[in-house]
């Protein structure tokens, strides 16, 4: 029963103080002392941390069946309708049903193709908004977030949720993004009550209270949408959007219990709107920031798109397979800036052995995807932004980022891999390609590309500490805008 090595725990709180303000960074530096498979004790909970590709593969491939559940946590309890959602559902028939319904109507190849025009329309709205602002500074992350949220809303609800379609800033959109970011910040807090049961009722960090308040705001937003939808769809012919399909599911189509309760429907919408908006928009924001720091790479990406698409129209999703350099830029962005640096936690259903070490039943597994993708034993000059490492002749020409090659797993891996990977990847590629092709980017006066701030903020998702603020300068034929 030899546990993996790790730092010595303090009484009661264990290794919680070791996590510091940015746990993915602290855990990466601890792994440099203790190795890629580490054991920590957070309060009374055993936690194991995987920080190399081969250790992650041991957990998420060889032993994936033992790690298909997520550990109990206050976010699932207070925000995600007490585990009635997809992200935190216990592995079993209800998880399978929620995942199947989402895959079929949102993420399958057919669903993605059916809704391609909606994503492209929303991206065109964003381009229009950026063009109108071309002599002034824009907060790129904010506008990207409006775009990803509206694109998702049109597929899920059949309509935008924010703005008048001009792509400009709507105070409601700001509030919604803040709510999503707050979910990620709260879900990223290592809440004492989750690890020291005796302290749970005192809610010392105030996390549970904030979660309950935030849940109430989301619930009222989602409850209104659901009621409105039910009223509008009464007697009218079947609508094509995801929510209408969820509402009209019938009982037990295939013996797995096909009908969803109102709570399950709201919980699923909550999952998609939180997991599927800021993850994609902030990845694009990081990518554009890297390209601004690397003008030669930006020029090369623009040249590729110009030669495939020309300068008389915007990029479409159908162009993406013909843009290998752009795809390499996106891979490199996901490598250095994975949206969820510690993935989402998993839990050992049974005790098991990994690399000769004992992993106790009930242990929480954290996979440090951020550290894995910067591992100097696997990547040459890991901190450099070098997309050509993914191209023929580079160090990792054939690697994909879809959970098969453990050196870079921004979407996780195994049975509980990101449900929205296909959509997230497409949206990030389309947005990055469009922003690169349609604009040159100017920095505010006094800022220079090499010195652009690249600090990370705290949270379950990787936000920029300083938002990217830029002057967009159109570079295509004027009729395109």
464: nearest Cα among 285, 320, 307, 303: 285
**Applying CB under 6 A, does 79 fall inside the site for ligand HEM?**
no
d(CA 365, CA 347): 6
Nearer to ligand HEM (CB atom), residue 14 or residue 420:
420
Nearer to ligand HEM (CB atom), residue 411 or residue 441:
411
**Of the listed pieces 35-43, 246-254, 415-423, 435-443, which binds ligand HEM according to CB under 6 A?**
415-423
Query: In sequence order, what are the residues at sequence separation of 6 or more whose Cβ sits closer than 8 angstroms to the Cβ of residue 294?
Result: 385, 449
Nearer to ligand HEM (CB atom), residue 161 or residue 192:
161
Where does 63-196 have alpha helices with state H?
A: 74, 93-102, 109-114, 116-132, 140-157, 171-188, 192-195
**Of the listed pieces 190-198, 229-237, 315-323, 412-420, which binds ligand HEM according to CB under 6 A?**
412-420
Binding residue for ligand HEM (CB under 6 A) from 38, 428, 433, 435? Answer: 428
Contact letters for ligand HEM, residues 99-118 (x by CB under 6 A): x-------------------
Q: Residues at the annotated binding site?
A: 418
Site for ligand HEM in 323-352 (CB under 6 A): 339-340, 343-344, 346
Site for ligand HEM in 267-306 (CB under 6 A): 271-272, 275-276, 279-280, 283
d(CA 348, CA 123): 41
**Applying CB under 6 A, does 364 fall inside the site for ligand HEM?**
no
* Cβ count near 447 (within 10 Å): 14
DSSP codes of every residue in 16-79? GGGG-SSHHHHHHHHHHHH-SEEEEEETTEEEEEE-SHHHHHIIIIITGGGG-B----HIIIII
Query: Shortest Cβ distance from residue 188 to ligand HEM (Å)?
Result: 13
Specify whether the CB–CB gap between 176 and 149 falls below 8 A. yes
Nearer to ligand HEM (CB atom), residue 177 or residue 300:
177
Q: Residues at the annotated binding site for heme?
A: 418
Nearer to ligand HEM (CB atom), residue 18 or residue 335:
335
**Applying CB under 6 A, does 423 fall inside the site for ligand HEM?**
yes
Nearer to ligand HEM (CB atom), residue 15 or residue 280:
280
118: nearest Cα among 161, 68, 154: 154
Helix (H) or strand (E) holding 217: helix 207-233
**Applying CB under 6 A, does 419 fall inside the site for ligand HEM?**
yes
Query: In sequence order, what are the residues at sequence separation of 6 or more whose Cβ sits closer than 8 angstroms to the Cβ of residue 14?
Result: 40, 41, 42, 43, 44, 45, 195
At 213, list the tokens.
Answer: 């308040």
**Applying CB under 6 A, does 424 fall inside the site for ligand HEM?**
yes
Query: Shortest Cβ distance from residue 268 to ligand HEM (Å)?
Result: 8
Site for ligand HEM in 135-164 (CB under 6 A): 152
Query: Shortest Cβ distance from residue 402 to ligand HEM (Å)?
Result: 11
Query: In sequence order, what are the residues at sequence separation of 6 or more whose Cβ sits closer than 8 angstroms to the Cβ of residue 373?
Result: 334, 335, 336, 338, 379, 382, 407, 408, 409, 410
**Of the listed pieces 184-192, 324-332, 406-414, 441-449, which binds ligand HEM according to CB under 6 A?**
406-414
Nearer to ligand HEM (CB atom), residue 6 or residue 420:
420
d(CA 52, CA 62): 15
Binding residue for ligand HEM (CB under 6 A) from 81, 115, 218, 411? Answer: 411
Alpha carbon distances (Å) from 406 to 38, 272, 293, 401: 18, 25, 27, 8
Q: Counting every residue, how long is the chain?
A: 481
Binding residue for ligand HEM (CB under 6 A) from 410, 433, 435, 438? Answer: 410
Nearer to ligand HEM (CB atom), residue 438 or residue 460:
460
d(CA 323, CA 433): 9
d(CA 323, CA 413): 25
Query: Shortest Cβ distance from residue 415 to ligand HEM (Å)?
Result: 8
- The residues of the shown chain that bind ligand HEM, judged by CB under 6 A, are 86-87, 99, 152, 271-272, 275-276, 279-280, 283, 339-340, 343-344, 346, 410-414, 416-420, 423-424, 428
């Amino acid at each position: 029963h030899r546990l993996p090595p790790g730092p010595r725990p303090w009484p009661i709180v264990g290794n919680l103080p070791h996590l510091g303000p940015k746990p993915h960074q602290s855990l990466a530096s601890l792994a440099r002392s203790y190795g890629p498979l580490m054991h920590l004790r957070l309060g009374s909970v055993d936690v194991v941390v995987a920080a190399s590709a081969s250790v992650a593969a041991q957990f998420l491939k060889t032993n994936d069946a033992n790690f298909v559940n997520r550990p109990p946590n206050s976010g699932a309890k207070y925000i995600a309708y007490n585990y009635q959602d997809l992200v935190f559902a216990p592995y079993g028939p209800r998880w399978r049903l929620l995942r199947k319904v989402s895959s079929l109507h949102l993420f399958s190849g057919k669903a993605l193709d059916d809704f391609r025009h909606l994503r492209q329309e929303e991206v065109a709205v964003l381009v229009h908004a950026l063009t109108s602002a071309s002599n002034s500074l824009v907060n790129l992350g904010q506008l990207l977030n409006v775009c990803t949220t509206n694109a998702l809303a049109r597929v899920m609800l059949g309509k935008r949720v924010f703005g008048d379609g001009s792509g400009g800033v709507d105070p409601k959109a700001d509030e919604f993004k803040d709510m999503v970011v707050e979910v990620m910040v709260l879900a990223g807090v290592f809440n004492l009550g989750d690890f020291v049961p005796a302290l749970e009722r005192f809610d010392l960090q105030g996390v549970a209270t904030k979660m309950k308040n935030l849940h109430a705001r989301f619930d009222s937003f989602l409850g209104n949408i659901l009621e409105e939808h039910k009223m509008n769809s009464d007697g009218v012919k079947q609508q094509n959007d995801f929510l209408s399909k969820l509402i009209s599911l019938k009982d037990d189509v295939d013996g797995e219990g096909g009908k969803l309760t109102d709570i399950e429907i709201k919980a699923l919408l909550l999952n998609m709107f939180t997991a599927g908006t800021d993850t994609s928009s902030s990845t694009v924001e990081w990518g554009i920031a890297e390209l601004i720091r690397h003008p030669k790479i930006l020029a090369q990406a623009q040249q590729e798109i110009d030669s495939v698409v020309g300068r008389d129209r915007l990029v479409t999703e159908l162009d993406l397979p013909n843009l290998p350099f752009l795809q390499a830029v996106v891979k490199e962005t996901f490598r250095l800036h994975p949206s969820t640096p510690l993935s989402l936690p998993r839990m050992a259903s049974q005790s098991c052995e990994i690399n000769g070490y004992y992993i106790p039943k009930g242990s929480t597994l954290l996979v440090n995807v951020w550290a894995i993708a910067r591992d100097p034993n696997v990547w040459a000059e890991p901190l450099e932004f070098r997309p050509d490492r993914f191209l023929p002749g580079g160090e990792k020409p054939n690697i994909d980022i879809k959970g098969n090659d453990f050196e870079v797993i921004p979407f996780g891996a195994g049975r509980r891999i990101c449900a929205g990977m296909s959509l997230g990847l497409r949206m990030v590629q389309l947005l990055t390609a469009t922003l690169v092709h349609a604009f040159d980017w100017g920095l505010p006066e006094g800022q220079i590309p090499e010195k652009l701030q690249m600090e990370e903020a705290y949270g379950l998702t990787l936000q920029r500490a300083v938002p990217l603020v830029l002057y967009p300068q159109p570079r295509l034929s004027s009729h395109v805008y």
